[in-house]
Amino acid sequence: MGLRTAGSVLVVFLWSVTVVLSQKGWSVTYTTQSICTLKGSTVEMSCSYTYPSGTVTTTFWFTKKYAVENYVNLRNDSNYKGRVTYRSDKMNGHNLTITDLRESDSAMYKFRFITDQTGGKYTGDPGVTLSVTDLQVKVTTTWWSTTLTCSTTCTLTGNPTYTWYRNSKIVQDDSSPSYTVYFKTEDSFYCAVKGINSNAVSVEGHSYFHVTYTHQRICTLKRSSVDISCSYTYPSGHTVSETIWYTKENLMRCLKS
């Protein structure tokens, strides 16, 4: 029974600690706490806040704080000039929109508000982590194919789909980040996500096992001779020991000496 009483006291004690930590009545709730998005795109961060009493006089988002009470309102930050929009509603919602994102915008964004009451100031911690990435095409070559992968430095929020372009024409839409090419080509490729394009790559110079025939159709005279020719490529590191011409019916074999 003594143990049971001690337990109840402990529960009451922990409960009061929680109340002190959350600063009764003050809160900022962010809709999303972590965002990974593309360079050049637009991001919106949203939050809602509560406070115990008074009237809110100032609201802003910031990433930098130089000293106690020296916060840099994002709208006054020269690095964000002309790219920041605030929107608020009567339900204590506040949104931040940043356009034309740069990789240097990757940071922790926090919302702060001030009321007309003494000591009535609050910052929502920990804030929203924004990671801005560009799209890079990575090339992986095997003996028989080249796989192009559209890569990012963080996993894009919302699992968007990828579009692949070959010489600026769509070849794979609504797809995974990878595209595979099976033949030697001099075409150029790039990927895109939500209208943002990657760098373009050419897979020229990658060679696989591939044969190119000089003529694909030959019409010639009875009793004349014909020259059928081709050229072939193979991956470096291989040595050709045997070449064969064949038809469906028979094999014409010649061994390389």
Ligand X SMILES: *[C@@H]1O[C@H](CO)[C@@H](O)[C@H](O)[C@H]1NC(C)=O
Residues contributing to the site for ligand X (CB under 6 A): 31, 44, 46, 73, 75-76, 87-89, 93, 95
Residue whose CB is less far from ligand X, 160 or 235: 160
Rg (CA), the chain: 32
Give me the least distance between CB of 53 and ligand X, in Å please: 23
Residue whose CB is less far from ligand X, 59 or 73: 73
Give me the least distance between CB of 50 and ligand X, in Å please: 16
Helix segments in the chain, DSSP class H? 2-21
Give me the least distance between CB of 97 and ligand X, in Å please: 9
* Cβ neighbours of residue 40 closer than 8 Å, sequence gap 6 or more: 100, 101, 196
Single out the residue of 184, 160, 157, 153 nearest to residue 174, CA to CA. Answer: 160
Residue whose CB is less far from ligand X, 88 or 117: 88
C-alpha span between 194 and 83 (Å, rounded): 19
Give me the least distance between CB of 10 and ligand X, in Å please: 41
Residue whose CB is less far from ligand X, 101 or 181: 101
CB 164 within 8 A of CB 189: yes
Give me the least distance between CB of 94 and ligand X, in Å please: 7
Q: Strand ranges (DSSP E) for 4-144?
A: 27-30, 34-38, 43-50, 56-67, 70-73, 84-88, 93-98, 107-115, 121-123, 128-133, 136-141
C-alpha span between 6 and 15 (Å, rounded): 14
Give me the least distance between CB of 88 and ligand X, in Å please: 5
C-alpha span between 170 and 257 (Å, rounded): 47
Residue whose CB is less far from ligand X, 26 or 86: 86
Residue whose CB is less far from ligand X, 92 or 149: 92
C-alpha span between 154 and 156 (Å, rounded): 6
